[in-house]
Amino acid sequence: MTPEDYLNGQILLIDKPLKWSSFQAVNKLKYTLINKLKLPKKFKIGHAGTLDPLASGLLIVCTGKFTKRITEIQSQAKEYTGTFHIGATTPSYDLETEIDAMFPTEHITAELIEKARLSFVGEIDQKPPVFSAIKKDGKRLYEHARAGEEVEIAHRKTTIHEFELTRIALPEIDFRVVCSKGTYIRSLAYDFGAALQSGAHLTALRRTKIGEFSVENAILVTDFEDTVSPKQA
């Protein structure tokens, strides 16, 4: 593609690796395009929905005039796959923090698991994790959390369109979920554990779809540079 193609607008499907932030991934693409195609340093580029460093998978990046489509893309349903670890919780609801409590699992039956699964299908009330980027009193929630400050977090309405358990091998349960914008899968893990009269946290997460866009058609962020040809003289 030519520099004009990127300025006029492109939707790039990126497979973000673990431990990369969404910001780092976008910056990698930006500097590749600036350096190889000599695009202006202030050309527009942004992602349509943050993916945590501890999650991998689909990150949609819009360039040029297509950055106007970011809000539209962000509003579409998202599909994730991952793993819950049953019997323990962490303050961040995932592996960012250490286990803070252990819970029994001996009472958990197939019937209880199915009852819990069904209870999360449809519109639900969900409380975002305290370790999240939502702002409260001018600061990100994770900044309050890391400072040891107690904050009141309001519940939000969100919708789980599909919730499938693809492997049950306690203490692990693998899942596939299709959900609305603003759903926190970490919170789903925590609440699912509570519904099992136990505890749970998220140990793996991969975003596989946003609307009709699939990670199967995405390119690794580390391979993107090889697809960009320098501007021809």
Catalytic residues: 52
d(CA 74, CA 201): 25
d(CA 120, CA 173): 15
Instruction: Check: CB of residue 170 under 8 Å from CB of residue 109.
Output: no
Q: Which residue has the tokens 């009472």?
A: 107
- How many Cβ atoms sit within 10 Å of the Cβ of residue 217? 9
Instruction: Check: CB of residue 125 under 8 Å from CB of residue 194.
Output: no
According to DSSP, residue 64 is labeled G
Task: Specify which residues 16 forms β-bridges with.
Answer: 57
Report residue 128 CA to chain centroid gap: 13
Q: Which of 88, 50, 16 is nearest to 183 (CA)?
A: 50
Main-chain phi, psi angles of 145, to 5 degrees:
-65, -45
In a 13 Å sphere around the CA of 190, the CA atoms on its Cβ side amount to 22
Instruction: Check: CB of residue 68 under 8 Å from CB of residue 48.
Output: no
Q: Which of 47, 71, 68, 77 is nearest to 59 (CA)?
A: 47
